[in-house]
Structure 1
């Protein structure tokens, strides 16, 4: 499986070229109930707990090869994200330096679940990245236990909030907090009531540069998890605007940077699609945008991949998503 994938069109960051520092079965410190990768396969608590992490030399080789296939001007950011928690890779700091040398002024982003901010080596690596998007789905212990299902026995949500706040105080880049607001068929939600109020308290303690108001709209999570409505997300954004500048609140469905066309020098449809699907489910329109082809052409490609039993369909909220058929 390739280490470099996409670019995917992100509502938050535009055309985002992904670098997967785990690459394989899902490895994480959490087992979040909404994760589009499904259940955590390898449950770990610190960097180096698993041996098959991606090495710096592999990233360098693949990234240099990949850049030759694409018009790099059609990429907005390079993002560390993929098959698990990227800060678990013990070579993160070295990889960041190498990637910076290759991509120049292109902004680097990392998507982290915020569990390892307490480690000095992780903080040092993160401080070299332009944008740190840190996950915070709960402001209280009960919501943290329900949503994130941490494998770090001594990690409380108050410690997570404290470590993020501490990192923010020494970080020169942009610290963004992403929250997945969700409903469940079990009667739990973090989008209102005491759980939401505790999240606001956490935001006020951290003082992030941006708050990303999101919901799990892709398949992959537990069946009892449901997204909240766009209307609810807008309402959450309005509430947060009482505490933070409106421009610093990015709401899914309102804030959308995913409009750039991806320009390929050389297309390898099969590997592009499969390498991306191993990290996230895609709709037909997403695949058309990824390849920069018409919906009709994307449909033909998808049908062939289905016929070859490489991908399959999954329906969520009435929309058809394509997922990998067999994970190797």
Structure 2
């Protein structure tokens, strides 16, 4: 599979987004509920309650699993901290022991969408957005579904950041290894409910088919021919990873699962799947690479 390296495709364009305030490092002590993690900040004696920007599991870890793992983390301080119950937001975690961190895994899915929006607007991914002036963030499509971006009043771009793909099994943290070993004979955790993704995919397929029908009808009336040579609408699902993830491959359970059926319908309808890898560190986010997933319909050409 050919990957479009950001350094080549976007030569001279911004591939780095710097944070206005550097992230703070610490260690996750526990996650008492879906909204809060208690973290111990470097240089401080007492732990602080931090906002968790993820309602579900992170890397497949339940609340109980996270107890005592001592995972290193990066925290941000929101500008509107006076109006919040927590002073920090957990942005990333590491699987190595404290002091030996080589890779940060971003977990803030809303921030991931913002980062993708930044790189699209900066012209760093021209195969998806060629003219940043025609990119609009978050539009309502259908009755009640919001899509992350609309390009040229035609193309739908939805960003998903799958946290279950974080490779927990590669952890060198002895506490994580011990937890995984104790899991082997236990029950496997259930995946997250796919209703939101299946709904988005359904809307993207419906909108794509509707736009094609409109274009074909207009062309038939004006010229008596189809629009096979014209500029066709696109629906693009971006799989965003805030680490250098391997190329996405459909799990073997896909064909019989609800999400698998939705993905297959989207693939057959022409929805494109692209993967974007970024690297997160205390100072900012770097665009590493991006590429279309070949098994999802091949590599689209730049517009």
- Do both share a fold (TM > 0.5)? no
* Higher fraction of strand: 2
TM-score for both structures, normalised by structure 1 = 0.29
* Higher fraction of helix: 1
Give the number of the structure whose alpha-carbon radius of gyration is greater.
Answer: 2
TM-score for both structures, normalised by structure 2 = 0.31
